[in-house]
Amino acid sequence: MKTVSIVKYTILLILLIFIASVSFKSCSINPEAWSPPTPPKLEGVLLENNLLSSTQHINLDGWYGPEDIAVDNQGNLYCGVHISETDFSDGRVLKIDTSGKVSVFCNTESWVAGLHFDSNQNLIACDLERGLISVDKNGKITTLASEDEHGNKFLIPNDVDIASDGTIYFTNTSSKIPFSRTHIWKLLMEAKPDGGLYSYNPKTKQVKTLIEGTYFGNGVAVSQNEDFVLMVDLAKYRILRYWLKGSNKGTTDIFLDNLPGFPNGVSRRADGSFWLGYSTKRDPSLDGIHSKPLVKKLVYGLPLFLQPKVARYGMIMHLSADGEILKTYYDTTGKVVSEASSVEEHDGYLYLGGDVSGHIGKYKLEN
């Protein structure tokens, strides 16, 4: 009888600790209610296929997280990485030469997300510890900007593109909370405007806010004529367009809305069209609780192992310069391409990134 009582009290104590832990963590989030649009049917140009199943893998020697990929003028690949699938506490920028050899180009000691080479072959990047940085050919790091013109910190700088005049366009996902796995989940659940789209003038060293308050601002791409810049609004399943020229200069509109997944990286092709990469498909259960703040608080309070898991699902899109979906590529099994956080085209291939992948995907385009 005594043993039975001890077991009961132990179970009760564990249950109380669990409830207290969930309640405490739930109080740290203050989500907004919003109702996502009904996801589009996967038919027509969105019809599922297995085109990405032929994708090859470029090994990263045990590193993870090539969130974005840049190519230098010699055809070498570069990506930022972290030390394990779940540990983002340390990082490097890797170089993969044309023979496939992997080496450390720069020891950032933090995960680097967006990357793009400027006209002088300096690697402009989004560093989660420093902000917007420039890395020269010898791997020397220079911080360009760590906050906007109003003093808001770039705590989760995300992606970057560069115009022909050298102007750098980049996103910052949050100016309120630093990067962590838990904080990313918090940003998605809260559904509040934070961070934004910015420009940096390398001559004047001035930062200018273009879009203030975005919903998980992510990928960036400047149009071929440089009359607008695209910004992925991941948590709202859409792409925004900020006009740089013309009668709409200085205004923002929606380039593409109600996408079938979590859009991540966007890049421009030589013909002016765009590639769009996805982290995963939409989750009906997540869409269903977005209008219920209390439920979102409770779900957020659960331990990570009890929270919804990200589905392994490869998806990229080819978009016209006007925002029309031209073609969709899938790996519905997620076995070959589990995610496509970015898409970089080079010499007849698409190089696919991933936030937690241990490799870069290499997909051969059809002639």
Residue 191 φ then ψ, to 5°: 55, 50
| Max Cα distance, the chain (Å) | 82
> Which residues touch 33 (CB under 8 Å, ≥6 apart)?
290, 291, 292, 293
Q: How far apart are CA 261 and CA 64, in angstroms?
A: 22
Domains of the chain with CATH codes:
31-364 (2.120.10.30)
Half-sphere exposure of 356 (CA within 13 A, CB side): 11
| CA angle (359 as vertex; 259, 57 as ends), nearest 5 | 90
Beta strands in 26-82 (DSSP E): 56-59, 69-71, 77-82
Residue 46: the pLDDT is 98
What does DSSP assign to residue 40?
Answer: P
CB-CB neighbours of 272 under 10 Å = 12
Q: Is 211 helix (H, G, I), strand (E, B) or coil?
A: strand
Extract the residue ranges of the chain whose pLDDT is less than 70.
1-28, 367
Structure tokens at 108: 């950032």
Q: Is 209 exposed, middle or buried (0-12, 13-18, 19+ CB in 10 A)?
A: middle
Structure tokens at 166: 């050298």
